[in-house]
Amino acid sequence: MREHDWAEQFRTVYERGIQTYEGGRTGVAGFFPEQDRQFLATIGCSEQELFDFVEDYCRGGEPSFEQVLLVSAIRRDYFLSVQGGKPSPHQIDMNRLPAKDAKLGGIAWLPRIIAKAQAKLRGEMPPELMYGCGGDRAFVQDHNIPLADFLRVVWQVDGDPKKVLQYVQKQSELPL
């Protein structure tokens, strides 16, 4: 695969996933063929992460492929440039995540989505957690932030909660 072809191949894998899901296979075990699993590993995307996006799309019509691609592109960039193409050996502990109602600057969900974004960047999401779940999508929509932009900002400010809060506050003031 040539470097610039990865997005096209990602679309192929994603669309094949939709066909598989709509064909009745609704569990991640054995969902992607070996060649797809190998490709996903080269861009730092776990099978579970792409499966979750496919499942949410098939069940609720979102997120769009374009949103999934943008989020995956940021993870890929982080994986290749920061992690040198080497996956993290760690997974975050679900019990250590901020609660869904935890607040930062009076904004509920913000501490949780920051922690999830950091785990997504590092490829440390446990199978039962999704960056870009319905709660995350509602949060970013309510605050006028594209899902991928939130992820990139968390990377740019190295997860600094005060800087993320400032970004969210600024975006929330913009007209929808």
Three-class SS of residue 83? coil
Given a contact cutoff of 8 angstroms between Cβ atoms, the answer to whether 109 and 150 are in contact is no
Give strand ranges (E) for the chain.
Answer: 103-104, 107-108
Given a contact cutoff of 8 angstroms between Cβ atoms, the answer to whether 155 and 170 are in contact is no
Spatial separation of the C-alpha atoms in residues 7 and 14, rounded to whole Å: 10
Domain extent listing, the chain: 1-86, 88-176
CA 150 to chain centre: 10
pLDDT tens, N- to C-terminus, the chain (176 residues): 456 799 999 999 999 999 999 999 999 999 999 999 999 999 999 999 999 999 999 999 999 999 999 999 999 999 999 999 999 999 999 999 999 999 999 999 999 999 999 999 999 999 999 999 999 999 999 999 999 999 999 999 999 999 999 999 999 987 75
Q: Can you give the pTM of this predicted structure?
A: 0.94
